[in-house]
């Protein structure tokens, strides 16, 4: 796998050499935020429950819609959609960073890294889970999480924060990958408090065996906004050129699968609080683009009229779910900051990756 990672990076370097650039690209930093399972019904319901107090993501300068279908299914999973958003290639459900022929395809984070940007991923599920994995790894199945963890070590990524300790330390092969990370100069942390005072360098924070707790199970409301702020700080300090980071609100999806509106609401609010941190950073750092979207909708949620014994404090609406799986509905794309205008209109999920790669000067216009 090391060979594949290397050849991808060589390919990326060649691309950069061909395309790069008489002038520096206008976009210096990209903060790519993915609410897993967050469709328009999820954001609408969250705003409605808040008495239509606007969500932070509603500060977006430009709004688009994206189509999520995968190469082998009209309803995507998080692996195929993550791969599309990361690489610009549609692939089959359960694929991570490989195309329909199972060949590895480079992702925006790798291309950015090869061009000298600092890069990272942040999640509220395991970092080896499908969405963040699509920005780091290349495996034919999302379920190969031990292997995905090895590729995190090989990737030499600046920063990752999320769950997933068991894939690094309690592995079937008995290896302890955190030793490899330490040998490569990483600060390895098991609690966000251990990152206080860490303002640069390589960071690996593994905060739960697999998924982190949900907000309902007691995950701190400070975690995702705080991890976002920490990532922006460390990545800003790690490269003068700029950075690319993917930040995932991973557990909105679980609320959809459980048909649990309370969980969807709490996880969407949490994600939206991280969006505020990113938008505020963009206000203070010209040249920063923030794109907020999802990988697919989960639950087939609809908000209909009717009396409800539902426990959230609003009246007169009822939340109905069409499925315990994902749905094929188009998703909102909220764009803010430098280059945001590129994300207006209707697009494929793969276009989002390509637009980001163009804006960072990683591929040809
Ligand atoms: Mg996910
Ligand atoms: Zn799901």
The model's pLDDT over 42-100, given as tens digits with 9 standing for 90+, comes to: 999 999 999 889 999 999 999 999 999 999 999 999 999 999 999 999 999 999 999 99
pLDDT value at position 51? Answer: 87
All domains of the chain in start order, with CATH: 2-22+31-306+314-359 (3.40.720.10)
Q: Which sequence positions are flagged as catalytic?
A: 78
The model's pLDDT over 120-145, given as tens digits with 9 standing for 90+, comes to: 999 999 999 999 999 999 999 999 99
Q: Which ligand is located closest to the Cα atom of residue 325?
A: 2
Cα separations (Å) of 319 from 42, 274, 346? 10, 25, 27
- Distance from the Cα of residue 173 to its chain's centroid: 28
pLDDT value at position 318? Answer: 85
Ligand 1 (single-atom ion) residues, CB below 5 Å:
36, 78, 131, 250
Is residue 18 pLDDT above 50, yes or no? no
**What is the distance in A from the centroid of ligand 2 to the CA of 36?**
7
The model's pLDDT over 286-314, given as tens digits with 9 standing for 90+, comes to: 999 999 999 999 999 999 877 655 555 55
pLDDT value at position 304? Answer: 87
**By C-alpha distance, which of 242, 251, 199, 210 is closest to 35?**
251
Where residue 229 falls among pLDDT bands split at 50, 70, 90?
very high
Q: Which residues, other chains included, contact 248 with Cβ-Cβ below 8 Å and sequence gap of 6+?
A: 33, 34, 35, 36, 121, 122, 123, 124, 125, 131, 132, 162
Is residue 116 pLDDT above 90, yes or no? yes
**What is the distance in A from the centroid of ligand 2 to the CA of 361?**
32
Q: Which ligand is located closest to the Cα atom of residue 295?
A: 1
CA dist 160 and 187 (Å) reads 11
Contact (CB, 8 A) for 293 and 35: yes
Is 0.85 topped by the overall pTM? Answer: yes
The model's pLDDT over 249-281, given as tens digits with 9 standing for 90+, comes to: 999 999 999 999 999 999 999 999 999 999 999
Is residue 21 pLDDT above 90, yes or no? no
The model's pLDDT over 167-198, given as tens digits with 9 standing for 90+, comes to: 999 999 999 999 999 999 999 999 999 999 99
**CB count, 10 Å around CB of 191?**
10
Read off the tokens for 71: 């190469």
**What is the distance in A from the centroid of ligand 1 to the CA of 340?**
24
**What is the distance in A from the centroid of ligand 2 to the CA of 253?**
5
CA–CA–CA angle 97, 69, 362 (5° rounding): 45
């Amino acid at each position: 796998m090391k060979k594949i990672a290397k050849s991808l990076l060589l390919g990326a370097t060649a691309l950069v050499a061909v395309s790069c650039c008489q002038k520096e690209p206008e976009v210096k930093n990209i903060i790519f935020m993915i609410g897993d399972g967050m469709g328009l019904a999820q954001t609408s319901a969250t705003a409605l429950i808040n008495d239509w107090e606007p969500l932070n993501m509603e500060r977006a300068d430009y709004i688009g819609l994206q189509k999520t279908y995968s190469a082998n299914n009209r309803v995507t999973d998080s692996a195929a959609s993550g791969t599309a958003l990361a690489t610009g290639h549609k692939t089959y459900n359960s694929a991570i960073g490989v195309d329909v022929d199972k060949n590895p395809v480079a992702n925006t984070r790798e291309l950015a890294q090869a061009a000298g940007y600092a890069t990272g991923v942040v999640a509220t599920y395991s970092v080896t889970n499908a969405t963040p994995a699509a920005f780091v790894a290349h495996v034919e199945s999302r379920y190969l999480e031990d292997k995905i963890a090895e590729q995190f070590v090989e990737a030499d990524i600046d920063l990752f924060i999320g769950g997933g300790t068991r894939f690094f330390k309690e592995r079937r092969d008995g290896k302890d990958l955190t030793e490899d990370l330490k040998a490569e100069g990483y600060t390895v942390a098991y609690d966000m408090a251990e990152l206080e005072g860490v303002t640069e360098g390589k960071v690996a924070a593994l905060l739960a065996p697999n998924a982190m707790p949900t907000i309902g199970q007691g995950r701190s409301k400070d975690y995702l906004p705080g991890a976002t702020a920490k990532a922006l700080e460390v990545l800003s300090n790690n490269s003068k050129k700029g950075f690319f980071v993917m930040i995932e609100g991973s557990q909105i999806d679980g609320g959809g699968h459980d048909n649990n509106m309370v969980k969807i609401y709490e996880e969407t609010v949490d994600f939206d609080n991280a969006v505020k941190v990113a938008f505020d950073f963009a206000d203070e750092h010209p040249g920063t683009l923030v794109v907020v979207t999802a990988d697919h909708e989960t639950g087939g949620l609809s908000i209909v009229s009717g009396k409800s014994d539902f426990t959230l404090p609003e009246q007169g609406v009822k939340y109905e779910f069409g499925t315990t799986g994902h749905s094929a509905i188009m998703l909102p794309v909220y764009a803010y900051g430098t280059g945001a205008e590129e994300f207006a209109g209707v697009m494929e999920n793969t276009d989002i990756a390509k637009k980001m790669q163009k804006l960072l000067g990683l591929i040809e216009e």
